């Protein structure tokens, strides 16, 4: 392990400073670089919703937010299984939580990684959407005996071009029901445990999208005549961003439960889901500071190369809750209300692309030194930050707000 990596593993949720509120964080800390405020109560609530409500096992999709203190909070809330989509993610989870179970849930892997994950970390669940990948997994793992083959669960990833998500994934991964049926047969013939998986796309606000995807699974199963041992409905579960009509999570769980019945699977077939966004979105905000105001332009200390990349996605009409805090003369901090006007928000780097795609409404009195707290940025924020131009947001604090 490199010295940097060793240093990084010392960062734990328990070691973080705690504040009663973001206002207190701003007052006591007066941060000049971005701070990720982590809300343990919100993470626990999100995890409970899945652990108690989802009719199967919940795997956290590490890609959504692999920050160590966030992983700690998820683990402390009861998450024990992880959807890991690269060898570094498998290593990260296996080292940090030796009792946890990793599932290698992507059909695209760097050569050699399936073998490493299998031998060094005991990973037994893999995904394919191509026959060559089945052969690669068998070759890399060197699973030859019937018992070794039986110990491997190979999920066939189906494309599910259904509507309801803000960003679809089926134009990149997955096969149709006919091809899926052929792959299921090949997995069964190889002596491995056949299984099915899909992903309806991220931020899916229609429960029926899961039911439609499960109907595609039903079709693949009928064509193949193969009995699967596991079914993974992927991620894509939403978070309740402001202004968005998001059905309660229970509606998604009920749709999945109902559609699973139509598949007439044996009760022993394990059901999994892999939420990323839904477990972490509400649990993190990023507290940024205004560096300079020029008319209706604000230059802040974070941007699209840091925590705000997701805001630049095409057709991404997602609002993130915002609060503005102002430092007063005596170093007290107050939340600013009053009339709002649109501001163009630039990040701190030298790049003109480092600007939020649409203006955002903020109090008209906002000035350099004030703080803008962008809420609900737990998913795909720190996960996508870069060190471009020397800016790398990496400060975390716990905030006790409900």
Ligand X SMILES: Cc1ncc(COP(=O)(O)O)c(C=O)c1O
* Residue ranges that bind ligand X, judged by CB under 6 A: 61, 63-64, 83, 105-106, 169, 199, 202, 234-237, 274-278, 379
Q: Which is nearer to ligand X, 25 or 233 (CB)?
A: 233
Q: Which is nearer to ligand X, 260 or 277 (CB)?
A: 277
Dig out the tokens for 45 from the structure: 């609530």
Q: Which is nearer to ligand X, 47 or 336 (CB)?
A: 47
Residue 155 CA, distance from chain mean position: 20
Q: Which is nearer to ligand X, 203 or 265 (CB)?
A: 203
Q: Which contacts qualify for 82-91: CB closer than 8 Å, 24 or more apart?
A: 83/59, 83/235, 83/274, 83/276, 84/117, 84/123, 85/61, 86/110, 86/113, 87/113, 87/116, 87/117, 89/62, 89/63, 90/117, 90/121, 90/123, 91/121
CB 158 → ligand X: shortest distance, Å?
12
Q: Which is nearer to ligand X, 143 or 280 (CB)?
A: 280
CB 105 → ligand X: shortest distance, Å?
5
Q: Across-strand partners of 373?
A: 287, 323
Q: Give the other-Cβ count within 10 Å of 48's Cβ.
A: 12
Rounded Cα distance between 287 and 33, Å, is: 9
CB 280 → ligand X: shortest distance, Å?
8
Q: Which is nearer to ligand X, 169 or 228 (CB)?
A: 169
> What is the residue-wise DSSP string for 30-89?
--SS-EEEE-HHHHHHHHHHHHHHSSSEEEEEGGG---HHHHHHHHHTT--EEEE-SHHH
Q: Which is nearer to ligand X, 276 or 283 (CB)?
A: 276
CB 127 → ligand X: shortest distance, Å?
7
CB 132 → ligand X: shortest distance, Å?
19
Containing 372, the helix (H) or strand (E) segment is: strand 371-374
Name the region of 154 (left: φ>0; alpha: ψ -120 to 50; beta: rest): beta
Beta strands in 158-221 (DSSP E): 165-167, 193-197, 202-204
CB 157 → ligand X: shortest distance, Å?
8
Sequence-separated (6 or more) residues with CB below 8 Å from residue 113 = 86, 87, 104, 140
HSE-CB of 173 using CA atoms within 13 angstroms: 20
CB 50 → ligand X: shortest distance, Å?
11
CB 350 → ligand X: shortest distance, Å?
30
Q: Which is nearer to ligand X, 156 or 298 (CB)?
A: 156
């Amino acid at each position: 392990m490199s010295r940097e990596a060793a240093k990084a593993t010392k960062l734990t949720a328990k070691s973080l400073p705690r504040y009663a509120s973001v206002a207190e964080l701003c007052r006591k800390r007066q941060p000049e670089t971005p701070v990720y405020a982590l809300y343990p109560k919100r993470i626990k609530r999100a995890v409970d919703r899945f652990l108690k409500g989802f009719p199967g096992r919940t795997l956290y999709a590490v890609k959504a937010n692999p920050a160590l203190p966030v992983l700690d909070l998820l683990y402390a809330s009861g998450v024990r299984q992880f959807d890991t989509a690269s060898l570094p993610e498998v290593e990260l989870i296996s080292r940090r939580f030796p009792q946890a179970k990793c599932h290698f849930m992507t059909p695209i892997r760097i050569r050699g990684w399936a073998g490493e994950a299998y031998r060094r970390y005991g990973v037994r669940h893999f995904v394919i959407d191509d026959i060559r990948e089945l052969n690669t997994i068998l070759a890399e793992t060197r699973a030859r005996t019937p018992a070794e083959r039986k110990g491997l669960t190979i999920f066939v990833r189906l494309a599910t071009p259904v509507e309801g998500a803000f960003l679809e994934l089926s134009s990149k991964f997955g096969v149709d029901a006919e091809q899926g049926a052929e792959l299921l047969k090949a997995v069964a013939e190889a002596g491995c445990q056949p299984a099915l998986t899909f992903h309806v796309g991220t931020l899916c606000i229609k429960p029926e999208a899961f039911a439609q995807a499960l109907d595609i699974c039903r079709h693949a199963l009928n064509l193949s005549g193969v009995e699967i041992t596991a079914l993974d409905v992927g991620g894509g579960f939403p978070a309740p961003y402001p202004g968005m009509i998001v059905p309660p999570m229970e509606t998604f769980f009920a749709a999945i439960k109902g559609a699973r019945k139509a598949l007439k699977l044996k009760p022993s077939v394990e059901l999994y889901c892999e939420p990323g966004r839904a477990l972490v979105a509400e649990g993190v905000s990023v507290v940024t500071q205004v560096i300079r105001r020029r008319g209706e332009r604000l230059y802040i200390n974070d941007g699209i190369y840091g925590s705000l990349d997701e805001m630049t996605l095409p057709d991404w009409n997602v609002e993130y809750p915002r609060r503005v805090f102002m430092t007063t003369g005596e170093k007290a901090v107050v939340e600013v209300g009053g009339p709002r006007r649109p501001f163009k928000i630039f990040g701190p780097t030298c790049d003109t692309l480092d600007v939020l795609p649409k203006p955002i409404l903020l109090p008209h009195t906002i000035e350099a030194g004030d703080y803008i707290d962008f809420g609900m940025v737990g998913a795909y924020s720190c996960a996508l930050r870069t060190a471009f131009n020397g800016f790398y947001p990496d400060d975390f604090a716990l905030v006790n707000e409900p």
